[in-house]
Structure 1
Amino acid sequence: MRTSYQYRLKPTKEQSSIIDNTLDMLRGQYNYQLAQRFDWYEQNRCSIDRCSLVICHIPELKNKPNRLSQQATLTQLKVDRPWYKGIHSQVLQEVPKKVELAFDKWLKDDSQGKKSGRPRFKAKGQYKTFTYPQFKQHHFVGNKITLSKIGIVKVIVHRQTPDGFEIKTVSVTKKSDGYYVTLSLDDQTVPTIKPDFEANNIVGIDLGLIDFIVTSDNERIGAPKFLRKAERKLKSAQRKVSRTKKGSNRRKKAINQLGNQHKKVADTRKDFHFKTAKTLLNKYDVVAVEKLNIKGLAKTRVAKSINDAGWGQFINILTNKAENAGLKVIAVNPNGTSQECSSCAHKVKKPLSQRIHNCPVCHVSLCRDWNAAINIKNRGAHGLKAQSMSS
């Protein structure tokens, strides 16, 4: 099982300067290697592969740059630009991986036949993370972590790493309020189910924008709408950035204040998700959720509210905490959960504006979201039973 723990770093001024310089040099290398990919694409994308008998306009075709070929140039890079020797070799080798991932996502279709946007060059301050793909366990002891080419850095360890987990990778990130280290932890043992696990102790939850959660037991948690509530402060902070001169210290300060406002919104939302997940898992052994196409929903006219709710992050947190606790989260097909009657299974078509479910067959009348949550619970119970029979 894989999990991540993030801690705040307390580097010295000299270490902060090294981290900043490392990020800026990695940004330059990222842009250079991305430009190589674009040059290859522009010269090789023409469908004509023959020239006329009179004149040839077709340039000589180049080999497509890939991760391995770009990693092979890093040795010469350190000869031509000796200052790159101050970066750990494996950290530098992670840059071509990022470039390849961004470029391939642009060229290749996803599972639904859609392409990602054209990758952009990173402006100053936009490259914020670098990763050590291999890390020795003894380099993180107590509240100190040893980062190659940076030194021994103090860490604020607000919680201990779980027993049995091994540190696989370490990432250093610069945020608006300081530096952070993220430990990617791996445990090879199979998660054990809780000894007193009760499959019948199941709840279905319907995610929404008015109520963040409506459970099959008709319990509700209102949508906090953190972004909507912070919009005035964000607007004011953004206006301060727009009024400052580019490159000035005042602009840097204003950008940092804007980043802090956005980080506060993200942190409060994440804290809310953790607390909501804990509340559910303290009460139930199995939680059934809809398998939603959140990316598709985020392109509709209610995209801002959906992104503000953060459904995807919440489901990930809920799933990870359930695995750690020996509990289960089961995803079900979302089609028709709001239209199907939870009492007699009759399809009752209704617009989104109609918030009450009234069945003409069995005459049951209840809240639309509560009806959907009961259907999700029933589908989750059926899916759980099918899994147990197959195993």
Structure 2
Amino acid sequence: MRIAYQYRLKPTKYQAAKIDNWLSMLCAQYNYLLSDRFNWYEQNRCFINACPLVCHLPDLRNNPDYYSQKKTLPNLKKTHPWYKDIHSQVLQDVVKRVKLAFDRFIKGDSNGKRSGRPRFKKPHRYRTFTYPQMKEGCLEVNLVNLPKLGKIKVILHRPIPDGFKIKTASITKRCDGYYLVLSLEDKTVPKVKPDINPDAIVGIDVGLKEFLTTSEGETINIPQYYRKSQKRLKVIQKRVSRRKKGSNNRLKAIKQLGKQHKQVADKRKDFHFKTANYLLSKYDVVAHETLNIKGLAKSRLAKSVLDAGWASFLTILTSKAENAGLLAVPVSAQNTSQNCSNCGKKVPKKLHVRWHDCPYCGCSLDRDHNAAINIRNRAAGQSVLKAQRLLRDARIGWEAYADPLGSA
């Protein structure tokens, strides 16, 4: 199992200046490696039989892949000696980031979906660097030992679980300070608990009137953190626009605006985590719709959809369920609001109609409650089969985890 813990860093002035200097140099190296990829792409993407009859054919060059670009790093430290201050693995991670960004543009991800053309990073847009490997004992009581940065004070607001090993460490600069993100791994913990109850299933229907409605009829109000802070954001945004570009006062106003946006995002994220924990504490299986949230974010409901943060919530719910050994089951969203949860007949209704009245069986209940029941019914069959299959595979793992030395 792989989880990530985030902690607040308290570096000294010297350490903070060194981190900022690293980010600046890593940003320049990222842009250089990306431009090298683009130069190769522009020279080699056109076939010879597709060129005009009279043209200049440049000499074909080898593809600057991950390994060839990583071999240029020793020479970089000779021509630019100041790069010797950066840890070698941190520099190698920049090459990996360039590879991932360019591969998503050329080949696509695991599903074959391609991303847009990677953009060159501005200094204020490059905010994170990563140590791909960390030594054991790097984290002490309230200090973390990072190579070539030294021991930095860290606020350990929660301990690392027993048996988990620190795999990577990332330093992120944000508007309100520096953060440490630790990636932890424990291969002995299986994915699903052996005592999971597939019958303890609930369906949830996310919405804009209520954040979600369960198949039991329970509703959770939508907080609307962004809309409540719009007045304050408008004042700060005006303050930014009235400052002279490049001035210190404008930079201060931009920092203040960033803190306000981060406050809204942190409140929303905290609400999502608490809601996910509440659902998983009551039910073993949570069913939800597979929504086209990107498409909804381009509609006239964009501000409300983004303020609710459905994508973030469903991601958190799935991750928390996996870490707890429970199930989060996605189902098709087709006609969940139109079909009657009692008789299954289709009862067409427009979006502004918030109550479901079935003329066939007389079922009458809230539209979102009806949709949540349909979601639960769709997930009931596949969740039981999935749980039984995962239980069979995980039973041996849990026995070994609970008694690693065996019954003897």
Superposed pair shares fold, TM > 0.5: yes
The equivalences for 1:58-207 within 5 A come to 58-109=57-108, 115-191=114-190, 197-207=196-206
Q: Distance in 2 between matches of 1:72 and 1:244?
A: 45
Structure 1 range deviating more: 32-41 or 294-303: 294-303
Check whether the contact 2:354–2:366 (CA below 8 A) recurs between aligned residues: yes
Show the counterpart of 2:405: none
- Per-residue Cα deviation, 1:117-169 (whole angstroms, up to 9, x for no partner): 22211112110000000011211111110111111000001111111111110
TM-superposed CA distance for 1:41, in Å, is 2.1
The equivalences for 1:227-266 within 5 A come to 227-266=226-265
Q: Distance in 2 between matches of 1:174 and 1:273?
A: 23
Q: Using a 3 Å threshold, how does the CA distance of structure 1 residues 282 and 48 change in structure 2: closer, same or farther?
A: same
Structure 2 alignment gaps of length 5 or more = 393-408
Check whether the contact 1:191–1:324 (CA below 8 A) recurs between aligned residues: no
Q: Distance in 2 between matches of 1:383 and 1:27?
A: 47
- Per-residue Cα deviation, 1:351-380 (whole angstroms, up to 9, x for no partner): 222222222221212111100100111122
The equivalences for 1:1-391 within 5 A come to 1-49=1-49, 56-109=55-108, 115-191=114-190, 197-388=196-387, 390=389, 391=392
Q: Using a 3 Å threshold, how does the CA distance of structure 1 residues 357 and 34 change in structure 2: closer, same or farther?
A: same
Q: Report how many aligned residue pairs link the two structures.
A: 390
Q: Distance in 2 between matches of 1:218 and 1:137?
A: 49
The SS at the match of 1:162 is coil
Q: Which amino acid aligns with 1:349?
A: P
- Per-residue Cα deviation, 1:290-326 (whole angstroms, up to 9, x for no partner): 2223333333332322222111221222223333333
Identity of aligned residues (%): 59
Q: Using a 3 Å threshold, how does the CA distance of structure 1 residues 50 and 378 change in structure 2: closer, same or farther?
A: closer
The SS at the match of 1:370 is helix
C-alpha RMSD of the superposition: 2.1
Q: Distance in 1 between matches of 2:223 and 2:104?
A: 34
TM-superposed CA distance for 1:252, in Å, is 1.6
The SS at the match of 1:136 is coil
Q: Which amino acid aligns with 2:235?
A: S
- Per-residue Cα deviation, 1:260-290 (whole angstroms, up to 9, x for no partner): 0111011000110111112212222221112
Q: Distance in 1 between matches of 2:317 and 2:202?
A: 13
Q: Distance in 1 between matches of 2:105 and 2:350?
A: 37
TM-superposed CA distance for 1:328, in Å, is 2.4
Q: Distance in 1 between matches of 2:179 and 2:369?
A: 41
Q: Distance in 2 between matches of 1:103 and 1:323?
A: 30
TM-superposed CA distance for 1:110, in Å, is 5.7
Q: Using a 3 Å threshold, how does the CA distance of structure 1 residues 236 and 278 change in structure 2: closer, same or farther?
A: same
- Normalising by the residue count of structure 2, what TM-score does the alignment of the two structures yield? 0.90
Q: Distance in 2 between matches of 1:173 and 1:112?
A: 29
The SS at the match of 1:340 is coil
Q: Which amino acid aligns with 2:24?
A: D
The SS at the match of 2:255 is helix
The SS at the match of 1:211 is coil
Structure 1 alignment gaps of length 5 or more = none
- Normalising by the residue count of structure 1, what TM-score does the alignment of the two structures yield? 0.93
Q: Distance in 1 between matches of 2:180 and 2:387?
A: 40
- Per-residue Cα deviation, 1:165-204 (whole angstroms, up to 9, x for no partner): 1111000000000000000011101337557543222211
Structure 1 range deviating more: 307-316 or 195-204: 195-204
